[in-house]
């Protein structure tokens, strides 16, 4: 039976640092409020003259391929997770494919928001285990900043999100107990409208008409409700991954949660009674980058030497949909 190994991981964040003090100038908020409620101190915003969802992904992918010791020609499939694609269609996967000169291979775009990277990893794992592909690029890339409402009305959403990209090369391996041990995917559409952007929705009679000037184009989030569901689902899906592999939480070397809100991560740490230092957080520097947050955090943790061969790494995500997911990996 084939196994899927994350052979290389990379990330890219735009240069422009936007601090809480910068946001104070645009809306009625404060550094103290943002830090207390979210833990975020700064985030990155793209430069529209040079950064796109696809080209940020390319930069992250190049780093991941270098670290994996593979070249563009070795990649045989792309799974691209984003809710902020360059165009309405086609998806950003084909744009990145073109940039990296991988013409001809399949490129699949998925839009599972904050859970997108873990969903993508699960897809890659199945294709590799089935023997269909050998090297798959799994991407999470987002430009949230251009869709935020930088005013008092949109402040609860605007202070949270940031831009960035992460990428993983998932590779076929044989005769090893390393690799992705299991993935667990969930969704509950009951809450679809609790965290969403409505327009330009195809159900509109004229989707590019008046609605485009209305509030439906801006992200809506029922923050309190999202928070309450997040803390429950994160713990559940981590526990599910451990049980599926007959493992104990003490065996987790590093838990990389989707960087939704530092308070959510701290809540999970306390609720699950995890050892200090097991939960990786970098939301302080990058905000919530939706599908990109897990691969950015994983790449950073790897650079710091916190992810080593044979370590048990747990990835967990929760977000719009609601969707939630986990992956347990022996690195």
Q: Which residue is nearest to ligand UT7 (CB)?
A: 223
SS3 content of the chain, % helix, strand, coil (to 5): 40, 25, 35
314 is catalytic: no
Q: Closest separation between CB of residue 294 and ligand UT7, Å? A: 11
288 catalytically annotated: yes
Binding test (CB under 6 A) with ligand UT7, winner from 16, 17, 26, 37: 37
On the question of a cis peptide bond just before residue 18, with omega within 30 degrees of 0, the verdict is no
CB nearer ligand UT7, residue 46 or residue 322: 322
Distance between CA atoms of residues 198 and 218, nearest Å: 8
Interatomic CA distance for residues 313 and 331, integer angstroms: 7
Q: Binding ligand UT7 by CB under 6 A: which of 4, 29, 141, 289?
A: 29
261 near ligand UT7 (CB under 6 A)? yes
Closest separation in Å from C-beta 327 to ligand UT7: 17
229 close to 315: Cβ distance less than 8 angstroms: no
- Cβ closer to ligand UT7: 58 or 112? 112
Among 11, 184, 229, 258, the active-site one is 258
Element containing residue 253 per DSSP (H, E):
none
Q: Give the CA angle between residues 198, 204, 210 to the nearest 5°.
A: 85
User: Per the residue annotation, which of 135, 156, 288, 314 is the catalytic one?
Assistant: 288
Task: Identify the bridge partners of residue 52 per DSSP, sorted by sequence position.
Answer: none
Asked whether position 82 contacts ligand UT7 by CB under 6 A, the answer is no
Is the peptide bond prior to 200 cis by the omega test (within 30 degrees of 0)? yes
Per CB under 6 A, 319 contacts ligand UT7:
yes
**What is the number of other CB atoms lying within 10 angstroms of the CB of residue 217?**
15
Kindly tell me which residue out of 155, 184, 233, 330 binds ligand UT7, with binding defined by CB under 6 A: 155
Question: Is residue 227 close enough to count as binding ligand UT7 by CB under 6 A?
Answer: yes
Residue 288 binding ligand UT7, by CB under 6 A: yes
Answer yes or no whether residue 226 interacts with ligand UT7 by CB under 6 A: yes
Element (H, E) at 288: none
CB 6 within 8 A of CB 168: yes
* CA angle, 68 then 51 then 116, to 5°: 55
Question: What is the H or E stretch that residue 61 is in?
Answer: helix 53-68
Q: How far apart (Å, rounded) are the C-alpha atoms in residues 303 and 263?
A: 25
Among 20, 38, 17, which residue's Cα sits nearest to residue 29?
20
Decide if residue 323 touches ligand UT7 (CB under 6 A). no
261 assigned to active site: no
Contacting residue, 9, 56, 260, 313, with ligand UT7 by CB under 6 A: 260
Shortest distance in whole angstroms from residue 243 CB to ligand UT7: 24
Among 54, 114, 262, 313, indicate the residue that binds ligand UT7 (CB under 6 A): 114
Q: Return d(Cα 288, Cα 294) in angstroms, integer.
A: 10
Of residues 84 and 156, the one with the C-beta less far from ligand UT7: 156
- Catalytic residue annotation: 114, 258, 288
Which residues would be at the binding site for ligand UT7 (CB under 6 A)? 29, 33, 37-38, 114, 155-156, 159, 223-224, 226-227, 230, 260-261, 264, 288, 319
């Amino acid at each position: 039976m084939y196994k899927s190994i994350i052979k290389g991981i990379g990330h890219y964040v735009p240069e422009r640092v936007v601090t809480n003090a910068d946001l104070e100038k645009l809306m009625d908020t404060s550094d103290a409020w943002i830090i207390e409620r979210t833990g975020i101190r700064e985030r990155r915003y793209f430069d529209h003259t040079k950064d796109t969802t696809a080209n940020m992904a390319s930069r992250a992918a190049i780093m991941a391929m270098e670290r994996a010791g593979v070249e563009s020609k070795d990649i045989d499939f792309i799974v691209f997770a984003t809710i902020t694609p360059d165009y309405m269609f086609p998806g950003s996967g084909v744009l990145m494919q073109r940039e990296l000169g991988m013409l001809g291979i399949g490129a699949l775009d998925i839009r599972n928001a904050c859970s997108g990277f873990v969903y993508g990893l699960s897809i890659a794992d199945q294709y590799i285990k089935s023997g269909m592909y050998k090297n798959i690029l799994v991407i999470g890339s987002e430009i949230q900043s251009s869709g935020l409402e930088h005013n008092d009305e949109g402040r609860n959403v605007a202070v949270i999100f940031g831009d960035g990209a992460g990428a993983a090369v998932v590779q076929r391996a044989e005769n090893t107990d390393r690799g992705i041990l299991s993935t667990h995917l969930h969704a509950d559409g009951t809450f679809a409208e609790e965290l969403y952007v409505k327009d330009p929705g195809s159900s509109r009679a004229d989707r590019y008409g008046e609605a485009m000037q209305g509030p439906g184009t801006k992200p809506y989030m029922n923050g309190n409700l999202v928070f309450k569901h997040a803390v429950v689902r994160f713990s559940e899906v981590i526990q599910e991954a451990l049980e599926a592999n007959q493992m104990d939480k003490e065996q987790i070397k590093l838990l990389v949660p989707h960087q939704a809100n530092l308070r959510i991560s701290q809540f999970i740490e306390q609720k699950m009674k995890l050892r200090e230092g097991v939960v990786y957080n970098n939301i302080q520097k990058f905000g919530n980058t939706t599908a990109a947050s897990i691969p950015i955090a994983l790449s950073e943790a790897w650079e710091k030497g916190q992810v080593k061969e044979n370590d048990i790494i747990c990835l967990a995500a929760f977000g719009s949909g609601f969707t939630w997911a986990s992956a347990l990996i022996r690195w």
